[in-house]
């Protein structure tokens, strides 16, 4: 066996030597920035977005025969960032991906996979003119934009009117503004057996799950703070504690189950409420008689003062792109007023533009159910654009899961330990 | 090895140089497809490494054992290794027992043979996503198992109970992969000379006796294979905690080292840390496999 | 009688989930209560299957799966037999080393190799979106080498002695003595390695970006994770997808399983 070990070591050593070879290329960035020609574009494969994307590409291609776009779907869901990360490393990423998660941007940027939009003379000014003040949340620590804030899905509380009525709660104006009201309503829902669960966020450990339970309420409670600001964790604070205690009460009293539901708890009537974005309007529109309310705060702030999580998906340009001038033109074309309007119409998701409700006033008068979301879209908080973003979210999720969901450690201890770890992570470059 | 002919001449290449030729394609394949990425991974675990786009200039300093220190100091990683140990202690003996008993029973069955073989094979071929869905139906809070148990149902329920999540996964995997090992045993049973059973029955051994004194020893090479393979698949556990307990829940009680590698390496962009976990895992499994072999192959 | 009870109980335990999967795939409305174990005639539909057929190009996907799986099996059997025989029966310099590699390859988790391998195959060999790129990492299944070695080890030495006395060379002995005797192992290996590439998702998913190159497992997984959420019964759609994926495998198994028990090695020994 000794000889075997020696042989294996030998193979390892000889192959390691060439470990760093290969690759190269990538082209001169300055040259690529001015080049035009055909480009590849990836879309999320949500069917409505694909329809929009194909129509957008057709519109562009008819006017630009020499710089055609070819559109492809990337598998969305859990593994989409994995595919993009691998494609960056392999050097076969497309020019533009209309489904770049803000939480993944710091990592892609570190990999050298993204083109800063500031490379283009009108890059920063275009982003800021289109999105307004909110754009600042998408700036990277080096002051550049590596993503164009594209569309958001500001999350709110959806409720099932039929189930609330069954629980003896006024279905037109359910008391959900303060934590006490929310808890009282939740208790009525469960004790009356109107539904198994009052609300059913996924109680699982994936790093992104906190975006749909803790984070929106934290944004609202703290008046719009991010999880991390100025390199320091913000959640180990009285606001963070209040939000955690609120959720802990829901879990402890069995108002929110600790076990994942295999399916859509809201559509199946297992839960009377859900935390969702405007995409839910088209998904539940027919199935459920629903109403919408802003996320609760301890003091019951009025709807106009509530900030929530944006759940945005953005567009980024990838460094494998050779014809960057074309890509930049396409990016502007696809996020102009006309295409944004088409996107809104096709998907119900909110383009990250300032003055959204007035720009598309016609659309919103015709569809009042989206109006609440459009108003909410003006007050959203993004995930922080900091190094080690995903590790930070996983660290937070682990602490939250053990203290709030499963009650294994006191919230104060878990949050303190997580804060210390996250402060270190956010401080690294 | 008395049966083998003496070498015609002592050779540098051993008694049967043709063996080199026969194994050459496999060795080349391994060098191309495994050795390079593996060597790369080992190299990575000693550096501050992350994946970069071609052409991007990045620094990747040598950091010695820093990644290993970080990994060993991380309670989540220690927990994951402990979890896998729990898993193996339950899963491997269970797998051997189920596969051996069912294969022997199946080998003698006359009626319903086709149906039974297909039945045992079905869980193995069915994609995990679907099978997991069914187990969730069985073991969730209001699932069939708890309804049958009534007041005896554990609280918290199986998959969100820190003490029970890993055992449930171990049983799940034993169940899912038994089809594979039943086939292995079944094929091996065809090679057990019938004379051995005849001799045993002449000696007046009952069915149970001849199972222990003939079948089990005759199947020893197959059992070695089953134990080694089950240990290895167990150590590489990933899909089940990923799907069944949704990322190693509750509270990390069912996280496995490979799941952490996926989280650290792919999701969080820390392939150097993931590689260090992987290298530790590989060392552990190699040691365990050698130990298994020594214990089981000793005659 | 006791044997039949053991087998019957075992079979029930093993088949139930598949049965449940099939029933679930026929439900028009998701039903997760305990009574759903029995089919409810009012709640049965083929709609879940119709939806898959509409969204996934089953023909192309099946063809891709066939090429992928066939390529893997061919390489695995041919090269696996050669290596397994050499490891079990031949003494040559480096045998211990090769066996060490077999063990090592077995124990290395694929996740550790995934991205370096991806970079190598896409950036180094330029094999993105090609059948070769999908097949390459699975071309020789190390478990198969291991299984073959174990089976060749199990053959009685007397057989080989006899052949050697007759003056046959090593290759001839392998071909005409050893190989016919391990036919059950051959079938086992085919049936075992068939599943790997057939159900493999992650690797072909990374390598094939074009829908017309994707094997069935990838198309169905895409369907399940993206499209099925919008189906009338998402849970049913998921289970229907799993049934479609499993059906060809089970069919093949039913066709081939009776060859398992057809060799009688006892006579060979007496020979």
Reading the block at residue A391, the tokens are: 């590790």
How far apart CA C206 and CA A370 sit, in angstroms, is: 37
Which of C90, C115, C242 is facing B271, going by the closest CB pair? C115
Residue pLDDT, tens place only, B197-226: 888 888 877 778 888 888 888 888 888 888
Measured in degrees and rounded to the nearest 5, phi and psi for residue C218 equal: -75, -45
Q: What is the mean pLDDT of chain B?
A: 83
Which of C79, C107, C265 is facing B190, going by the closest CB pair? C265
Residue pLDDT, tens place only, C73-117: 999 999 999 999 999 888 888 888 888 888 788 778 777 787 788
Domain shared by A135 and A166, yes or no: no
Q: Where are the alpha helices (DSSP H) in chain B?
A: 18-30, 36-45, 66-72, 75-108, 113-125, 128-139, 144-149, 165-189, 194-202, 207-210, 216-218, 220-235, 239-243, 257-261, 271-297
Residue pLDDT, tens place only, B78-126: 999 999 999 999 999 999 999 999 898 888 766 777 788 888 888 887 7
Q: Where are the domains of chain C?
A: 13-270
Of C180, C97, B293, B275, the residue nearest A19 (C-alpha): B275
Q: Is residue A5 part of a domain?
A: no
Find the closest chain B residue to C121 by CA distance.
B33
| Residues B103 and B182: beta-carbon distance below 8 Å | yes
Q: Around Cβ C31, how many Cβ atoms within 10 Å?
A: 18
How far apart CA C32 and CA C29 sit, in angstroms, is: 10
The count of structural domains within chain A is 2
- Domain end call among A329, A350, A374: A374
Domain shared by A204 and A274, yes or no: yes
Q: Is residue A14 part of a domain?
A: no
| Residues B232 and B177: beta-carbon distance below 8 Å | no
Which residue's entry shows tokens 């899961």? A401
Domain shared by A338 and A414, yes or no: no
Question: Per residue in B121-152, is it b (16+ CB within 10 Å) or e — as a string?
Answer: bbbbbbbbbbbbbbbbbbbbbebbbbeeeeee
Asked if C94's CB is within 8 angstroms of A263's CB, the reply is no
Asked if C187's CB is within 8 angstroms of B125's CB, the reply is no
Find the closest chain B residue to A89 by CA distance.
B53
How far apart CA B184 and CA C185 sit, in angstroms, is: 8
Q: What is the mean pLDDT of chain C?
A: 79
Domain shared by A325 and A294, yes or no: no
Tell me the C-alpha to C-alpha distance, in Å, between residue C194 and each of B152, C72, C139: 42, 8, 12
Domain shared by A223 and A192, yes or no: yes
Q: Is B73 helix (H, G, I), strand (E, B) or coil?
A: coil
Determine the residue among C117, C215, C222 to mutate to test chain A binding: the one whose Cβ has the most chain A Cβ atoms within 10 Å.
Answer: C222
Reading the block at residue A377, the tokens are: 């879209």
Domain shared by A338 and A282, yes or no: no
Domain shared by A355 and A294, yes or no: no
Which of A1, A75, A90 is facing C100, going by the closest CB pair? A1
Cα C44 versus chain centre, distance: 31
How far apart CA C135 and CA C204 sit, in angstroms, is: 9
What is the helix (H) or strand (E) element at residue A43, kind and residue range? strand A39-44
Cα A34 versus chain centre, distance: 32
Residue pLDDT, tens place only, A17-65: 333 333 333 445 567 778 899 999 999 877 888 899 999 999 999 999 8
Residue pLDDT, tens place only, C6-28: 888 888 888 887 888 888 888 88
Q: What does the pLDDT read at residue A75?
A: 59
Which of C7, C17, C199 is facing B106, going by the closest CB pair? C7
Asked if C104's CB is within 8 angstroms of A76's CB, the reply is no
Residue pLDDT, tens place only, A173-208: 999 999 999 999 999 999 999 999 999 999 888 889
Q: What does the pLDDT read at residue A13?
A: 37
Q: Which residues of B touch A257 (CB under 8 A)?
A: 141
Domain that includes residue A337, residue range: 29-152+312-374
pLDDT at C40 > cutoff 80: no
Q: Is residue A22 part of a domain?
A: no
What domains can be seen in chain B, in order of their start residue?
A: 69-297 (1.10.3720.10)
CATH topology of domain C13-270: MetI-like fold (1.10.3720)
Residue pLDDT, tens place only, A122-160: 999 999 999 998 899 999 999 999 999 999 999 999 999
Residue pLDDT, tens place only, C126-146: 888 889 999 998 888 888 888
Domain shared by A182 and A305, yes or no: yes
Q: Is B286 helix (H, G, I), strand (E, B) or coil?
A: helix
Q: What does the pLDDT read at residue A10?
A: 40
The pLDDT > 70 percentage for chain A reads 91
Across C207-230, average pLDDT: 74
| Contact residues of B toward A, CB < 8 A | 31, 35-36, 38-40, 42-43, 50-58, 76, 133, 136-137, 140-141, 156-157, 159-160, 162, 246-252, 263-264, 266-270, 290
Asked if B131's CB is within 8 angstroms of C82's CB, the reply is no
pLDDT at C265 > cutoff 60: no
Tell me the C-alpha to C-alpha distance, in Å, between residue C2 and each of A39, A187, B189, B208: 69, 53, 20, 12
Kind of pairing, strands A271-276 and A290-293? unpaired
Domain shared by A318 and A299, yes or no: no
Chains that touch C (3 or more CB pairs under 8 A): A, B
Closest Cα in chain C, distance from residue A50 (Å): 12
How far apart CA B55 and CA A23 sit, in angstroms, is: 7
Closest Cα in chain B, distance from residue C57 (Å): 19
Reading the block at residue A183, the tokens are: 């808890």
Measured in degrees and rounded to the nearest 5, phi and psi for residue A72 equal: -140, 150
Q: How confident is the model at residue B228 (pLDDT cuts 50, 70, 90)?
A: confident
Asked if A111's CB is within 8 angstroms of B156's CB, the reply is no
Find the closest chain A residue to C30 by CA distance.
A268
Within 13 A of A340's CA, how many CA atoms are on the CB side? 23
| Residues A151 and A350: beta-carbon distance below 8 Å | yes
Across A320-328, average pLDDT: 94
Which of B18, B34, B186 is facing C108, going by the closest CB pair? B34
Burial (0-12, 13-18, 19+ Cβ within 10 Å), B110: exposed
Domain shared by A317 and A305, yes or no: no
The CATH number of residue A317's host domain is 3.40.190.10
Domain shared by A34 and A126, yes or no: yes
Asked if C225's CB is within 8 angstroms of A78's CB, the reply is yes
Reading the block at residue C13, the tokens are: 């335990």
């Amino acid at each position: 066996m000794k000889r075997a070990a020696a042989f294996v070591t030998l193979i390892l050593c000889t192959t390691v030597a060439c470990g760093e070879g290969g690759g190269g290329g990538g082209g001169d960035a300055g040259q690529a920035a001015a080049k035009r020609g055909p480009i590849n574009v990836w879309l999320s494969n949500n069917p409505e977005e694909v329809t929009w994307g194909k129509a957008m590409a057709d519109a562009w291609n008819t006017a630009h025969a020499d710089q055609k776009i070819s559109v492809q779907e990337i598998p969305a869901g859990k593994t989409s960032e994995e595919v993009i990360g691998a494609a960056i490393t392999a050097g076969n990423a497309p020019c533009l991906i209309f489904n770049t998660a803000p939480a993944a941007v710091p990592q892609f940027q570190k990999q050298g996979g993204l083109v800063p939009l500031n490379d283009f003379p009108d890059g920063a000014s275009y982003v800021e003119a289109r999105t307004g003040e909110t754009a600042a949340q998408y700036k990277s620590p080096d002051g550049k934009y590596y993503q164009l804030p594209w569309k958001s899905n500001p999350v709110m509380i959806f409720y099932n009117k039929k189930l609330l009525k069954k629980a003896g709660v006024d279905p037109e104006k359910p008391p959900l503004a303060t934590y006490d009201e929310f808890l009282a309503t939740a208790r009525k829902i469960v004790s009356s057996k109107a539904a198994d669960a009052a609300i059913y966020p996924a109680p699982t450990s994936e790093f992104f799950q906190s975006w749909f339970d803790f984070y929106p309420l934290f944004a609202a409670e703290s008046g719009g703070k991010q999880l991390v600001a100025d390199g320091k964790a913000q959640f180990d604070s009285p606001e963070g504690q209040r939000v955690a205690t609120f959720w802990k009460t829901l879990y402890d009293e069995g108002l929110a189950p600790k076990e994942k539901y295999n399916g859509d708890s809201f559509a199946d009537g297992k839960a009377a409420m859900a935390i969702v974005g405007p995409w839910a309007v088209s998904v539940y529109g027919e199935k459920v008689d629903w109403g919408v309310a802003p996320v609760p705060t301890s003091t019951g702030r009025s709807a106009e003062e509530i900030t929530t999580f944006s759940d945005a998906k953005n567009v980024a340009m990838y460094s494998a792109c050779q014809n960057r001038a074309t890509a930049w033109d396409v990016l502007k074309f696809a996020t102009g007023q006309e295409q944004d309007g088409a996107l809104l119409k096709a998907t119900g998701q909110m383009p990250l533009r300032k003055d959204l409700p007035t720009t598309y006033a016609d659309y919103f008068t015709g569809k009042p159910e989206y109006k609440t979301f459009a108003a909410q879209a003006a007050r959203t908080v993004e995930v922080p654009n900091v190094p080690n973003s995903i590790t930070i979210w996983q660290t937070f999720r682990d602490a939250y899961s053990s203290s709030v969901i499963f009650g294994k450690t006191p919230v104060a201890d878990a949050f303190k330990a997580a804060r210390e770890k996250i402060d270190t992570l956010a401080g690294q470059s | 090895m008395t049966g083998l002919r003496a070498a015609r001449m002592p050779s540098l290449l051993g008694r049967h140089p043709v063996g080199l030729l026969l194994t050459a394609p496999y060795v080349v394949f391994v060098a191309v497809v495994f050795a390079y990425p593996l060597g790369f991974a080992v190299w990575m675990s000693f550096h501050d490494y992350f994946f970069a786009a071609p052409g991007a200039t990045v620094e990747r300093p040598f950091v010695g054992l820093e990644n290993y220190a970080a990994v060993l100091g991380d309670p989540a990683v220690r927990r994951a290794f402990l979890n896998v140990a729990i898993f193996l202690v339950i899963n491997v003996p269970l797998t051997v027992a189920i596969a051996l008993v069912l294969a022997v029973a199946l080998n003698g069955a006359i009626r319903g043979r086709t149906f039974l073989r297909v039945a045992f094979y079905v869980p193995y071929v069915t994609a995990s996503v679907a099978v997991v869905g069914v187990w969730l139906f069985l073991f969730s809070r209001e699932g069939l198992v708890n309804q049958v148990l009534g007041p005896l149902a554990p609280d918290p329920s199986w998959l969100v109970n820190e003490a029970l999540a890993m055992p449930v996964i171990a049983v799940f995997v034993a169940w899912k992969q038994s089809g594979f090992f039943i086939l292995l045993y079944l094929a091996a049973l065809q090679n057990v000379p019938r004379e051995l059973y005849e001799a045993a029955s002449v000696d007046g051994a009952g069915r149970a006796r001849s199972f222990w004194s003939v079948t089990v020893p005759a199947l020893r090479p197959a059992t070695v294979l089953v134990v080694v393979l089950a240990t290895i698949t167990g150590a590489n556990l990933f899909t089940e905690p990923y799907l069944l307990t949704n990322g190693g829940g509750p509270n990390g009680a069912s996280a496995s080292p490979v799941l952490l590698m996926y989280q650290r390496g792919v999701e969080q962009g820390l392939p150097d840390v993931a590689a260090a976990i992987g290298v530790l895992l590989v060392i552990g499994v190699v040691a365990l496999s050698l130990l298994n072999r020594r214990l089981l192959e000793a005659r | 009688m006791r044997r039949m009870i053991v087998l019957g109980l075992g079979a029930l335990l093993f088949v139930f989930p598949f049965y449940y999967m099939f029933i679930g795939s026929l439900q028009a409305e998701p039903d997760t209560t305990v009574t759903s174990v029995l089919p409810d005639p009012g709640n049965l539909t083929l709609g879940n299957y119709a939806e898959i057929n509409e969204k996934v190009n089953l023909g192309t996907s099946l063809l891709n799966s066939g090429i992928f799986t066939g390529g893997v099996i061919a390489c695995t059997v041919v090269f696996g037999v050669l290596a397994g025989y050499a490891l079990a029966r031949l003494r040559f310099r480096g045998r211990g080393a090769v066996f060490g590699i077999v063990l090592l390859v077995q124990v290395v988790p694929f996740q550790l190799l995934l991205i370096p391998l991806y970079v190598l195959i896409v950036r180094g060999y330029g094999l993105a979106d090609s059948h070769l790129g999908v097949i390459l990492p699975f071309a020789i299944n190390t478990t198969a080498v291991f299984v073959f070695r174990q089976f060749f080890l199990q053959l009685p030495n007397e057989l080989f002695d006899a052949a050697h006395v007759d003056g046959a060379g090593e290759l001839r002995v392998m071909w005409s003595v050893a190989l016919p005797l391990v036919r059950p192992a051959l079938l086992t290996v085919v049936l075992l390695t068939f599943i790997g590439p057939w159900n493999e998702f992650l690797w072909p998913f990374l390598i094939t970006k074009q829908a017309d190159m994707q094997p069935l497992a990838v198309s169905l997984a895409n369907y399940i994770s993206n499209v099925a959420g919008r189906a009338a019964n998402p849970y049913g759609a998921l289970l229907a997808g799993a049934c479609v994926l499993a059906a060809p495998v089970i069919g093949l198994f039913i066709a081939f399983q009776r060859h398992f028990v057809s060799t009688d090695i006892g006579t060979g020994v007496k020979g």
